[in-house]
């Protein structure tokens, strides 16, 4: 005992004093679900691929992206990006332009020829009916799992409404073709001009399961009294004819499009490009009630399309159209006013929505068909007939490319499990990372990068793509606007700001760990985490 | 090195940033930092002083190749770090008295000089009481002699170690054990206060700066710069005290940040007695945003005159140090 005066302890560092015993709460690292991921109908891990893109690792980013969605080039152009409506960055300045970065990644993949490999052969065979986004997506996912896939497509080309609905000026066909051929390269066989109307016969050919994704292609009509009807066409056939070029539609100089959905706007803009100098949309209800997206209306109006809200077509006499003005009643429904006006037009195009021809499914035991041919499915995307699954526009859901693509993935997972006699289980849902979990102070001010737009003159006369992509610098900048909601991006704030050195830095890509021997549970790390990836929990007993 | 895309998600606002060039990251972000004040110390949960001391001393160690001796005045920093025979300091460190750290440091510097150890540098450090009140005579002498010492004051705005007594850094209106919220003028008196950084400047010493635990890049830059200069230097660091201020331990950084953003704690730098730079406010906040998070101000929150007076102090700082101005694009790299 050779100790200094009045000292009974050995000289040592404070490491022997475990201050962790002071704690009543402890910090833990968590992954919260980014709101964008939650909102994506295709279930993309958006924050995950943006994280890679932020570092300029575009190929990694793309690989994460295509685990959920095989067509980023298409989606970056036509998806209505509900992810951006959910983005937390809206509360700071404006949403991250997720679709623009997705498009950039999609285009990079095509430029560099990035590919993925099919899974090991499972010995199972799946038939897919319809080569729209839903069928193509299911095919991709089933091939990744190693199943054989044959797609039967009634039409002369693959793509469904991505080709026969969405015009070229929004989705250039090179992008669509190349993304479809990348799916085929996985070993997917597409049999064109092969309309299916007998599913049991198809299953007898040795298929273990069937995914039906035939969309909604039958144009809805309306009865308008006509003394001497002029040219009346439906929107879907006009758009389809433009695509196939069989019978280039002769529309004349003055065109009326009847309807207020996206199809109406696409048709009007197409008519303009085909030479109709006066194109007018006539819609029964008002602007707030129109199902088309605002961006689409603005792009159309910029191109010189006129819109007549609260108007119905009452009578047709050759090229004279009697329009009745409507007004909204107290319940918000349009009702006639008795005020009329006559407009001259060469062609009327009806864009009143589409229904599904599912008569061949109705014959199957257990399959339930609702109004307009919509087919009911359970949460595993299976119809009432065992082994027959369905998705996309033909089932009750939003009618978008992205929803259809998401259904394809979900169906593939369920088909895979079903063929093994199992049931697919979704993983645990994490808590959503809301803006209240974000510490916005830490993020640099960074206004969104806008995508360049084609000049008006060319928009009125050609089918050249209207909205351009971001260049690399802008795409990288845009990716870096992401707040990384709910997921650690290694900013070192917890590591740096712990007064008790109780955060251990594990190194790039490995994140951090708490040292509970010394952590006093002050909660500073959680409070100063910019993205909400730390939470405080009650100290376990 | 210039990176092509000049935007880095959180820029230099966070401790680290995987997108930044290595040399633009902080010492605190590195795995190799010294942890000069290491864990096992007995500071309260969320102690701003423990944090500020590690920030400053790690930065200094990094700047001088780990050749450093620190002299510590009595106060929380000394007591919580070194209940003899245990210590959390991982540097040569001496404690003597409450009021004489500058004089002891002067002596250490003289001894090193006498022994020809020109590479080893000296830091003296203490709380606001030890520095601005009882140690102020010694400090002024150290400045006037231009001794080769960096003095760092950790300002938590009261005598915390002995139970929250008022110091000359305690803000107007604040409740302390010796300025209770009673009577006609509850809390601390509304005096003109005492600004040691401005008094240090009056000595025309080579370097004076104010810093905050809420702006780590700025704090490290200032300490590094101080260590590159010889002669007497002074760095005054604002370090919130959860216990003495009646604040949640998790609010320490937030409070330090609000003190900057309101203008109540201006960040500036001076060389040879002249201000050379001030740090502009990024997102200006009214003073009640700062006051309402602290129980020591609870009694004045409903007193418009008190709030007006404190806001006027903030506004005076803002105009005096030109704190609200177009931000240079410093955080874009
Ligand atoms: C003009 C227009 C514009 C649109 N714009 C957008 C947009 O910008 N963004 C967006 O997200 N969505 C848009 N949509 C909606 C989107 O295109 C559809 O929701 C989506 O294509 C549905 O995908 P699907 O796979 O279910 O069906 P579809 O894409 O319709 O594909 C079904 C396929 O099945 C084939 N088929 C049908 N019956 C049979 C059969 N019996 N045997 C074999 N094959 C058969 C069809 O030929 C077709 O190829 C638009 C739709 C239209 C009409
Ligand atoms: C000469 C002398 N007087 C009084 C004390 C008691 N004492 C020890 S620490 C302290 C207050 C320290 O306050 P400050 O310097 O602000 O440091 P803090 O504890 O707030 O960090 C006092 C009064 C002492 N140690 N020596
Ligand atoms: S900031 Fe990033 S992670 Fe958060 S919602 Fe927007 S894109 Fe998703
Ligand atoms: S900052 Fe440190 S002491 Fe405080 S809760 Fe986090 S790890 Fe624990
Ligand atoms: Mg003090």
Pick the ligand that lies closest to the CA of residue B45: 4
| Ligand 1, residues at Cβ distance < 6 Å | A 78-80, 129-135, 152-155, 160-162, 165-166, 195-196, 213-215, 217, 239, 262-263, 266, 392-393, 399-402, 404
In a domain, A492, yes or no: yes
The answer on A327 and A244 residing in a single domain is yes
Task: Tell me the CATH number at A329.
Answer: 3.50.50.60
d(CA A412, CA A188): 14
In a domain, A528, yes or no: yes
Q: Which of A305, A331, A354 is the last residue of a domain?
A: A354
The answer on A110 and A58 residing in a single domain is yes
Task: Tell me the CATH number at A60.
Answer: 1.10.1060.10
Q: Tokens 């009045």 correspond to what residue?
A: A6
- Please name the residues between 198 and 227 in chain A that touch chain B, using a CB distance below 8 Å: none
The answer on A348 and A237 residing in a single domain is yes
Q: Which pLDDT does position B303 carry in this prediction?
A: 93
Any chain B CB within 8 A of the CB of A235?
A: no
Query: pLDDT (tens digit, 9 = 90+) per residue, B30-54?
Result: 999 999 999 999 999 999 999 999 9
d(CA B179, CA A192): 88
In a domain, A431, yes or no: no
The answer on A376 and A342 residing in a single domain is no
Query: pLDDT (tens digit, 9 = 90+) per residue, A41-75?
Result: 999 999 999 999 999 999 999 999 999 999 999 99
Ligand 3 close to Cβ of residue A482 (< 6 A): yes
Distance from the alpha carbon of residue A407 to the mean position of ligand 1, in angstroms = 13
d(CA A68, CA A409): 7
Query: pLDDT (tens digit, 9 = 90+) per residue, A286-331?
Result: 999 999 999 999 999 999 999 999 999 999 988 999 999 999 999 9
Q: Which of A354, A384, A411 is the last residue of a domain?
A: A354
Count of structural domains within chain A: 4
The answer on A472 and A366 residing in a single domain is no
The answer on A348 and A224 residing in a single domain is yes
Residue of A nearest to B249 (CA): A522
Question: Considering only CB atoms, which chain A residues are within 8 Å of B253?
Answer: 497, 524, 527-528
The answer on A327 and A247 residing in a single domain is yes
The answer on A237 and A150 residing in a single domain is no
d(CA A346, CA A254): 5
The answer on A299 and A202 residing in a single domain is no
Site from A496, A533, A534, A535 to mutate, B interface, most B CB atoms within 10 angstroms? A496
Query: pLDDT (tens digit, 9 = 90+) per residue, A218-251?
Result: 998 888 887 777 789 999 999 999 998 866 678 8
Any chain B CB within 8 A of the CB of A530?
A: yes
Query: pLDDT (tens digit, 9 = 90+) per residue, B99-137?
Result: 999 999 999 999 999 999 999 999 999 999 999 999 999
Distance from the alpha carbon of residue A304 to the mean position of ligand 4, in angstroms = 61
CATH superfamily, domain at B33-320: Thiamin diphosphate (ThDP)-binding fold, Pyr/PP domains (3.40.50.970)
The answer on A534 and A504 residing in a single domain is yes
For chain A, what percent of residues have pLDDT higher than 90? 88
pLDDT tens, chain B, 333 aa long = 234 445 678 888 999 998 888 888 899 999 999 999 999 999 999 999 999 999 999 999 999 999 999 999 999 999 999 998 899 999 999 998 999 999 999 999 999 999 999 999 999 999 999 999 999 999 999 999 999 999 999 999 999 999 999 999 999 999 999 999 999 889 999 988 899 999 999 999 999 999 999 999 999 999 999 999 999 999 999 999 999 999 999 999 999 999 999 999 999 999 999 999 999 999 999 999 999 999 999 999 989 999 999 999 999 999 999 999 875 544 343
- Please name the residues between 270 and 309 in chain A that touch chain B, using a CB distance below 8 Å: none
In a domain, A56, yes or no: yes
Enter the ipTM: 0.95
Task: Tell me the CATH number at A512.
Answer: 3.30.70.20
Q: Which pLDDT does position A394 carry in this prediction?
A: 97
In a domain, A284, yes or no: yes
Query: pLDDT (tens digit, 9 = 90+) per residue, A200-213?
Result: 999 999 999 999 99
Protein residues near ligand 5, an ion, with CB under 5 A: B 127-128, 156, 160
Q: Do B283 and A480 touch (CB under 8 A)?
A: no
The answer on A389 and A472 residing in a single domain is no
Whole domain around residue A375: which residue ranges?
A: 125-217+356-419
The answer on A334 and A241 residing in a single domain is yes
Residue of B nearest to A494 (CA): B15
Q: Do B15 and A54 touch (CB under 8 A)?
A: no
Q: Which pLDDT does position B327 carry in this prediction?
A: 59
């Amino acid at each position: 005992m050779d100790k200094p005066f009045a000292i009974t302890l050995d000289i040592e560092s404070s490491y022997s004093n475990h201050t962790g015993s002071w704690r009543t709460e402890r910090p833990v690292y968590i992954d919260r679900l980014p709101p964008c991921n939650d909102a994506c109908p295709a279930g993309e891990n958006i924050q995950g691929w943006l994280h890679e893109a932020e570092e300029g690792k575009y190929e990694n980013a793309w690989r994460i992206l295509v685990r959920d969605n095989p067509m980023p080039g298409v989606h970056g152009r036509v998806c209505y990006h509900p992810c951006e409506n959910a983005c937390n960055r809206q509360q700071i300045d404006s949403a991250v332009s997720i679709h623009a970065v997705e498009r950039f990644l999609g285009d990079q993949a095509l430029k560099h020829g990035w590919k993925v490999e099919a899974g090991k052969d499972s010995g199972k065979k799946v038939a897919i009916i319809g080569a729209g986004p839903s069928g193509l997506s299911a095919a991709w996912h089933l091939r990744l799992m190693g199943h054989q896939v044959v797609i039967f497509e009634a039409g002369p080309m693959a793509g469904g409404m991505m080709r026969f609905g969405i015009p070229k000026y929004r989705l250039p066909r090179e992008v669509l073709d190349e993304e479809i051929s990348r799916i085929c390269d996985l070993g997917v066989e597409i049999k064109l001009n092969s309309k299916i109307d007998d599913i049991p016969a198809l299953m007898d050919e040795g298929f273990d399961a069937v995914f039906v994704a035939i969309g909604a292609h039958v144009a809805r009509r309306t009865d308008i009294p006509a003394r001497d009807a002029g040219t009346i066409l439906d929107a879907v056939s006009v758009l389809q004819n433009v695509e196939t070029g069989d019978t280039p539609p002769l529309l004349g100089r003055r065109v009326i499009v009847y309807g207020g959905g996206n199809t109406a706007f696409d048709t009007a803009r197409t008519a303009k490009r085909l030479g109709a100098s006066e194109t007018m949309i006539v819609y029964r209800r008002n602007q707030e009630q129109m199902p088309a997206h605002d961006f689409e209306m603005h792009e159309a109006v910029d191109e010189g399309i006129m819109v007549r809200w609260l108007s119905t077509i009452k009578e047709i006499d050759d090229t004279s159209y009697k329009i009745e003005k409507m007004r909204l009643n107290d319940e918000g429904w349009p009702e006639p006013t008795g005020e009329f006006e006559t407009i001259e037009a060469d062609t009327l195009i009806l864009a009143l929505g589409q229904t599904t021809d599912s008569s061949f499914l109705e014959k199957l035991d257990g399959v339930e068909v609702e109004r307009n041919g919509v087919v009911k499915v359970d949460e595993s995307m299976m119809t009432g007939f065992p082994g027959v699954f369905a998705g996309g526009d033909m089932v009750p859901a939003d009618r978008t490319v992205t929803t259809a693509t998401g259904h394809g993935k979900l169906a593939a997972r369920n088909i895979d499990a079903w063929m093994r006699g199992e049931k697919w289980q979704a993983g645990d849902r994490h808590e959503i990372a809301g803006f209240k979990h974000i510490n916005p102070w830490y993020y640099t001010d960074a206004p969104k990068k806008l995508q360049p737009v084609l000049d008006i003159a060319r928009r009125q006369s050609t089918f050249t793509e209207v909205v351009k992509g971001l260049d690399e610098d802008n795409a990288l900048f845009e990716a870096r606007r992401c707040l990384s909601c709910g997921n650690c991006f290694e900013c070192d704030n917890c590591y740096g700001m712990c007064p008790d050195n109780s955060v251990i830095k594990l190194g790039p890509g490995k994140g951090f760990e708490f040292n509970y021997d010394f952590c006093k549970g002050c909660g500073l790390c959680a409070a100063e985490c910019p993205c909400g990836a730390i939470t405080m929990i009650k100290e376990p007993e | 090195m210039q990176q092509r895309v000049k935007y880095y998600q959180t820029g230099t606002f966070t401790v680290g940033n995987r997108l930044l060039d290595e040399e633009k990251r902080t010492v605190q972000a590195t795995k190799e930092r010294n942890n000069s004040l290491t864990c096992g110390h007995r500071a309260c949960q969320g102690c701003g002083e423990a944090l500020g001391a590690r920030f400053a001393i790690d930065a200094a160690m990094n700047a001088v190749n780990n050749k450093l001796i620190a002299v510590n005045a009595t106060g929380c920093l000394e007591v919580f770090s070194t209940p003899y025979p245990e210590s959390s300091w991982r540097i040569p460190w001496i404690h003597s008295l409450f009021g004489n750290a500058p004089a002891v440091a002067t002596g250490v510097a003289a001894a090193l000089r006498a022994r020809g150890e020109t590479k080893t540098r000296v830091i003296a450090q203490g709380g606001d009481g030890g520095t601005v009140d009882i140690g102020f005579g010694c400090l002024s002498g150290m400045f006037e002699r231009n001794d080769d010492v960096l003095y760092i004051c950790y300002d938590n705005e009261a005598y915390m170690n002995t139970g929250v007594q008022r110091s000359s850094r305690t803000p107007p209106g604040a409740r302390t054990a010796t300025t209770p919220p009673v009577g006609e003028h509850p809390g601390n008196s509304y005096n003109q206060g005492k600004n040691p950084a401005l008094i240090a400047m009056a000595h025309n010493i080579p370097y004076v700066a104010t810093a905050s635990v809420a702006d780590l890049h700025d704090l490290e830059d200032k300490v590094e710069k101080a260590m590159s200069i010889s002669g007497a230097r002074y760095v005054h660091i604002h370090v919130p005290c959860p216990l003495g201020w009646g604040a949640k331990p998790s609010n320490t950084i937030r409070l330090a940040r609000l003190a900057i953003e309101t203008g109540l704690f201006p960040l500036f730098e001076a060389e040879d007695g002249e201000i050379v730079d001030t740090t502009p406010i990024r997102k200006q906040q009214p003073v009640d945003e700062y006051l309402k998070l602290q129980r020591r101000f609870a009694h004045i929150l409903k007193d418009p005159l008190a709030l007006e007076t404190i806001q006027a102090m903030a506004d005076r700082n803002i105009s005096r140090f030109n704190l609200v101005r177009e931000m240079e694009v410093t955080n874009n790299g």
